[in-house]
Structure 1
Amino acid sequence: SWVRFYARYGWDIVCKHIRYARLYWRFHQAYRLARNGIASGVEDVAMRPVEARELDMLELYQTSPAAKIIMEKAKKKIATVPPIAPMA
């Protein structure tokens, strides 16, 4: 019957919206934690840019000739970009 179909269809839409709202809330909370961590001076190591001296130490940049070329390009780029001032 059409009533049963639309009841199920409506319930399915409501459930999808609830799941989306929960997902949005989780991402929003993670964003707030990251933003507040930056503002409070706590620094996440993964969010720091790669320094030139780290390029020589990381095995990722030493595995192939192409990786070494990319490492050299990254070193040149790092040398031309001024350092970011720390947040107050």
Structure 2
Amino acid sequence: MSLDHKKVKEIAYLARLNIEDTDIEQATAELNNILSLMDKLGEIDTGDSEPMAHPLKMSQRLREDKVSEDDLFEEFQAIAPKTGKGHFLVPTVIE
């Protein structure tokens, strides 16, 4: 796949990028180089490769999931200006 100047301008517009007319030639060449690389990567046979969650053979250390704070729900509900059935009511009009 190869892009021309018109296509690059359309892509720049859609991506909300301001590419000056003096830079269109360079941007077109760079995008075509990227697309060429993607085509080469697509030709690689990866059928025997196992999917990896991480590029290194290591597990992710996670902290133990435990409650570290008290449940203050009732106290917060008590001082709220308006509450519903277990939730806070937000006024639609600022008084």
TM-score bracket for this pair, using the shorter chain length: 0.3 to 0.5
Higher RCO, 1 vs 2 (CA within 8 Å, ≥6 residues apart): 1
> TM-score, normalising length from structure 1?
0.34
Higher relative helix content: 1
